[in-house]
Amino acid sequence: MYVDWDYYKIFYYVAKYQNFTKAARVLGSNQPNITHTMNKLEDQLHCVLFIRSNRGVTLTPEGENLYARISSAAVQIQDAEEVLSASASLSHGAISISATETALNIYLSERLRGFHAQYPGIRLRITNHSTLQAVQAVKNGEVDFAVVTTPAETGSD
Protein backbone atom coordinates (compact mmCIF):
# COMPACT_ATOMS: atom_id res chain seq x y z
CA MET A 1 0.00 0.00 0.00
CA TYR A 2 1.31 3.46 -0.90
CA VAL A 3 0.19 6.40 1.20
CA ASP A 4 1.56 9.86 0.50
CA TRP A 5 3.84 10.95 3.40
CA ASP A 6 2.17 14.36 3.39
CA TYR A 7 -1.07 12.67 4.44
CA TYR A 8 0.63 11.48 7.61
CA LYS A 9 2.00 14.95 8.29
CA ILE A 10 -1.46 16.44 7.91
CA PHE A 11 -2.92 13.67 10.08
CA TYR A 12 -0.34 14.49 12.77
CA TYR A 13 -1.41 18.15 12.94
CA VAL A 14 -5.14 17.41 12.82
CA ALA A 15 -4.73 14.90 15.65
CA LYS A 16 -2.44 17.22 17.60
CA TYR A 17 -4.84 20.18 17.45
CA GLN A 18 -8.00 18.05 17.29
CA ASN A 19 -9.31 20.48 14.72
CA PHE A 20 -9.16 20.62 10.91
CA THR A 21 -9.16 24.44 10.79
CA LYS A 22 -6.30 24.84 13.29
CA ALA A 23 -4.26 22.22 11.46
CA ALA A 24 -4.93 24.01 8.18
CA ARG A 25 -3.70 27.29 9.64
CA VAL A 26 -0.47 25.73 10.92
CA LEU A 27 0.12 23.99 7.60
CA GLY A 28 -0.65 27.10 5.53
CA SER A 29 -3.60 25.42 3.87
CA ASN A 30 -7.35 25.61 4.16
CA GLN A 31 -9.91 23.49 5.99
CA PRO A 32 -11.56 21.93 2.89
CA ASN A 33 -8.17 20.69 1.60
CA ILE A 34 -7.29 19.24 5.00
CA THR A 35 -10.68 17.52 5.29
CA HIS A 36 -10.39 16.12 1.76
CA THR A 37 -6.89 14.78 2.47
CA MET A 38 -7.98 13.12 5.71
CA ASN A 39 -10.93 11.51 3.92
CA LYS A 40 -8.49 10.14 1.34
CA LEU A 41 -6.19 8.84 4.10
CA GLU A 42 -9.08 7.07 5.79
CA ASP A 43 -10.09 5.54 2.45
CA GLN A 44 -6.55 4.33 1.76
CA LEU A 45 -6.14 2.87 5.24
CA HIS A 46 -9.67 1.38 5.18
CA CYS A 47 -10.56 2.72 8.61
CA VAL A 48 -12.08 5.73 10.35
CA LEU A 49 -9.44 7.81 12.16
CA PHE A 50 -11.58 10.65 13.52
CA ILE A 51 -14.93 11.18 15.16
CA ARG A 52 -16.06 14.51 13.80
CA SER A 53 -18.18 17.04 15.70
CA ASN A 54 -18.95 20.77 15.54
CA ARG A 55 -16.21 21.41 18.12
CA GLY A 56 -13.45 19.50 16.35
CA VAL A 57 -12.37 15.89 16.15
CA THR A 58 -11.42 13.11 18.49
CA LEU A 59 -9.39 10.08 17.53
CA THR A 60 -10.92 6.65 17.14
CA PRO A 61 -8.93 3.72 18.59
CA GLU A 62 -7.39 3.27 15.11
CA GLY A 63 -6.57 6.98 15.03
CA GLU A 64 -4.99 6.79 18.49
CA ASN A 65 -2.87 3.86 17.35
CA LEU A 66 -1.68 5.70 14.25
CA TYR A 67 -1.08 8.95 16.15
CA ALA A 68 1.13 7.19 18.72
CA ARG A 69 3.44 6.09 15.92
CA ILE A 70 3.22 9.22 13.77
CA SER A 71 3.84 11.60 16.69
CA SER A 72 7.06 9.84 17.72
CA ALA A 73 8.26 10.00 14.11
CA ALA A 74 7.32 13.69 13.92
CA VAL A 75 9.32 14.46 17.07
CA GLN A 76 12.35 12.67 15.64
CA ILE A 77 12.06 14.56 12.36
CA GLN A 78 11.71 17.90 14.18
CA ASP A 79 14.76 17.07 16.33
CA ALA A 80 16.77 16.23 13.22
CA GLU A 81 15.71 19.49 11.58
CA GLU A 82 16.77 21.47 14.65
CA VAL A 83 20.19 19.80 14.71
CA LEU A 84 20.72 20.50 11.04
CA SER A 85 19.44 24.04 11.36
CA ALA A 86 21.73 24.80 14.29
CA SER A 87 24.80 23.70 12.38
CA ALA A 88 23.87 25.35 9.11
CA SER A 89 24.93 28.73 7.83
CA LEU A 90 23.05 31.00 5.47
CA SER A 91 23.66 28.42 2.78
CA HIS A 92 20.81 26.28 4.18
CA GLY A 93 17.65 26.85 6.15
CA ALA A 94 14.08 27.98 5.92
CA ILE A 95 12.19 31.20 6.50
CA SER A 96 8.44 31.33 6.96
CA ILE A 97 6.75 34.60 6.03
CA SER A 98 3.14 35.71 6.24
CA ALA A 99 2.17 38.58 3.95
CA THR A 100 -0.91 40.42 2.85
CA GLU A 101 -1.60 40.18 -0.87
CA THR A 102 -0.77 43.86 -1.39
CA ALA A 103 2.49 43.61 0.54
CA LEU A 104 3.47 40.52 -1.42
CA ASN A 105 2.70 41.97 -4.83
CA ILE A 106 3.97 45.52 -4.33
CA TYR A 107 6.88 45.11 -1.95
CA LEU A 108 7.94 41.62 -1.04
CA SER A 109 8.05 39.63 -4.30
CA GLU A 110 10.79 41.81 -5.85
CA ARG A 111 12.92 41.72 -2.71
CA LEU A 112 12.50 37.98 -2.30
CA ARG A 113 13.78 37.42 -5.85
CA GLY A 114 16.96 39.28 -4.91
CA PHE A 115 17.24 37.42 -1.60
CA HIS A 116 16.77 34.06 -3.31
CA ALA A 117 19.42 34.91 -5.90
CA GLN A 118 21.88 35.77 -3.10
CA TYR A 119 20.90 32.84 -0.82
CA PRO A 120 19.59 30.03 -3.06
CA GLY A 121 19.84 27.42 -0.30
CA ILE A 122 17.34 29.18 1.93
CA ARG A 123 13.81 27.83 1.50
CA LEU A 124 11.07 30.42 1.64
CA ARG A 125 7.55 29.51 2.78
CA ILE A 126 5.15 32.34 2.10
CA THR A 127 1.53 32.35 3.23
CA ASN A 128 -1.09 34.88 2.23
CA HIS A 129 -3.06 36.30 5.15
CA SER A 130 -5.05 39.35 6.11
CA THR A 131 -3.21 41.79 8.36
CA LEU A 132 -4.80 40.44 11.52
CA GLN A 133 -4.16 36.82 10.48
CA ALA A 134 -0.53 37.64 9.68
CA VAL A 135 0.02 39.25 13.08
CA GLN A 136 -1.65 36.30 14.78
CA ALA A 137 0.52 33.85 12.82
CA VAL A 138 3.62 35.59 14.22
CA LYS A 139 2.19 35.49 17.75
CA ASN A 140 1.38 31.79 17.38
CA GLY A 141 4.89 31.02 16.15
CA GLU A 142 3.53 29.76 12.84
CA VAL A 143 5.76 32.13 10.83
CA ASP A 144 9.05 33.90 11.44
CA PHE A 145 7.73 37.32 10.49
CA ALA A 146 4.94 39.11 8.66
CA VAL A 147 4.82 41.87 6.06
CA VAL A 148 1.59 43.86 6.01
CA THR A 149 0.43 47.09 4.43
CA THR A 150 -2.25 48.23 6.86
CA PRO A 151 -1.89 48.90 10.57
CA ALA A 152 -3.30 46.28 12.89
CA GLU A 153 -4.85 46.81 16.28
CA THR A 154 -3.08 44.12 18.27
CA GLY A 155 -4.27 45.00 21.77
CA SER A 156 -1.99 44.91 24.76
CA ASP A 157 -0.42 41.50 24.02
Cα separation, 151 vs 14, whole angstroms: 32
pLDDT in tens, 4-24: 889 999 999 999 999 999 999
Range 89-147: architecture per CATH: 3-Layer(aba) Sandwich (3.40)
- Location of each CATH 1.10.10.10 domain in the chain: 5-85
Give the predicted TM-score (pTM) of the model: 0.54
Give per-residue pLDDT as tens, 25-50: 999 999 999 999 999 999 999 999 99
